[in-house]
Each structure stands twice: as C-alpha cells, then as structure tokens.
Structure 1
Amino acid sequence: MTNKAKLNDIIEEMGMQIDGYRSFINIRTGEVFSVSEDDLIDAEDEKTMDDDLQDWQIENLEIANEIVENYEDYKELPSKYEIDEYKMVKDFCLTVKDVKVQKILFITIEGKGAFRRFKDAVIEFNIEMDWYSYRDRRYKDLAIAWCQNNDIEYID
C-alpha cells in the first residue's frame, strides 16, 4: 500500500530548489527528498563512505544510495527550470489592474537583477501579499497537475 504525498511538501520542495540539487518523491511513502547531484553521482559510482564524513553527509549519501538502488520507487519533481518562476512573475504583472503600476512592474523584470527589483517593487506598491498569494496558487496548481500526470496520490 502506498501512502499519499503531502501536497504542501511537494509545493515547498518545488519552491526551494537550488542549483546542484535534485528533488524526488518516494511514490511508496509519499516522502519528498532533496539530494545533491554530487551525492547521486557518488551513489551511482558506488563510492564507499569515508570515516571523515559528518553525520549529515552520511545521511545525504544514504538517501542518494536509496534513490539510486530503488529508482523505480522515486519520481523526480520538476526542476526550477521546468517551473519557470519568471513566467509566473510576468503572468502576475498582467493581473495588476493599475496600468501605471503594471507598466512599472514590467520594466522592473527586464534584465539582470529582475527578481530583486520585482520584489522591491511589489513591496513599494503594497501588493506583496497579492504576489505571494498568486505565487502560492500557481505552485499549488503546478503540484496538483504534476501529481495527476505522474499518478501520485496526494492529500491537501
């Protein structure tokens, strides 16, 4: 019997991804894991654990070994590149009813440093809560669609 995944765990992991790490869900337990690409490579190469490793390093390598050895029990979550938060930002700008604010937001998301300028602007225009609500809804929609496309049972 498989346990249902917690939708919030999936959403949280999708929103916290960083370069050099990959995120997986154990389809039997519903648990979500993030593991470094280096640990996955070491696990695939069947490297043994050094005595010099810290406890957290051992735990991470054990998770990587589990994923490699039982890959059929895991599904990889969408990467941050597949999620495309920049598109989310652009779509949010279209929801802003004040045309002047909307134009300014579109200017802020051009070029390098776009996310920082965008975040500063939503604070300045007092629409920060609107942005985070919008972003949360989009991540939830993405997580639900991903679960459905991958036959992952989930609880809200």
Structure 2
Amino acid sequence: MKKVKLEDIIEAMELINDDSNCYYNKMTGEITYVDDETRRLAEDCSMEDLESLPDWQRDDVRRAIDVEENWNYYIALPSKFDINEYDIMVKFCYFLDNDKIANQLLNALNGRGAFRRFKDTAFRLSIEEKWYEFRDEALRKIALDWCSCNGVEIDNK
C-alpha cells in the first residue's frame, strides 16, 4: 500500500459534499474524486458514448469506472456524514472561553441556513480565524483516524 500525504486527504475531504465522495487508491496512492453525476454517466456509458464526451469529462468518467471496476483497490475517504461539520461547529462553541460568543454561535446554528449564519456570526465576532483553525484540526484528527483504521501510512516528507 502506498503512503499518502495527510494534506492530500484533508484537501479531498474538504471537497466532499452530499453528491460526491473521494477514494484512495491503495496501489497508486492517488485520491480520486467522484460526484454522483459522473458515477451515473460511468454506469450508463458505452465506449462509444465515452469517446463523444469532452476530454475533461471523459477523464472523470474513466476514473469513476476504475473505482467501480476495481473496488478492491480503493478505500472510500470519510463521507460528509462521517465528517459532520455541524457537530464540529457545536464542539467549537463549547471550546470557546467566552460564553456570550459561544451562545451567539449556538443560536446561529438553529434552523435553515445554520452553516451560513454560523460563519457570518464568526466573522462578525472576529473569531473566524479561530474557527478555521479549530475546523482544520478536527479534519486533521478525522483524517488521522481514517488512516489508522484503514492501515494507510502517512508520507511525512
């Protein structure tokens, strides 16, 4: 199994959303991003269809096909649900020393649009840098746990 740079895993995790996931190739050490649209194209695509796609899309579909056909060579990175950014935001609120600021952020997390309100509130309160440092460390821990659970070695070069 190839080693992987922790930064590459974290960067890939930041790309993941409701409609996508990333996969680590155990043989090459590469990380592949696949969204649902590309996955559907890969499932329905004949060789003739593949050649008619634009270059950029053809490459994406080929990667999605490779993940599907060679599943045993890939490990899925943590999904959006494994990462749970909402939970990270709540933990950040309880991490803060200032109860007034923590309560304002917790209130921002109620209802629709909570992510945007939380980030806007953090900006307004001038703690967005502290938030992003906390979030980065949380993602780092998730990535390290993922590596440990999957026997993936980290390249420290």
Is 1:48 matched up with 2:68?
Answer: no
Taking the aligned partners of 2:8 and 2:15, their CA distance within structure 1 comes to 11
TM-score between both structures, scaled by the size of structure 1:
0.91
Structure 1 equivalent of residue 143 of structure 2 = 143
- Relative to the length of structure 2, the TM-score reads 0.91
Q: How many residues align?
A: 155
- Structure 1, unmatched stretches of 5+, are none
When the two chains are superposed, the root-mean-square deviation of aligned CA atoms in Å is: 1.6
Match of 1:3 in 2: 2
In the alignment, structure 1 residue 28 sits paired with structure 2 residue 27? yes
Pair 22,78 (structure 1): closer, same or farther in 2 beyond 3 Å: same
Q: Name 2:88's counterpart in structure 1.
A: 88
The residue type paired with residue 47 of structure 1 is S
2:18 is equivalent to residue 19 of structure 1: yes
Query: Matches of 1:122 and 1:49 in 2, distance apart?
Result: 51
Contact 1:24–1:32 (CA under 8 A) maintained in structure 2: yes
Partner of 2:130: 130
Give the equivalent residue in structure 1 for 2:65: 65
How far apart are the structure 1 equivalents of 2:125 and 2:37? Answer: 42
What corresponds to 1:154 in structure 2?
154
Taking a change above 3 Å as real, the CA distance of residues 69 and 7 of structure 1, as seen in their structure-2 partners, is same
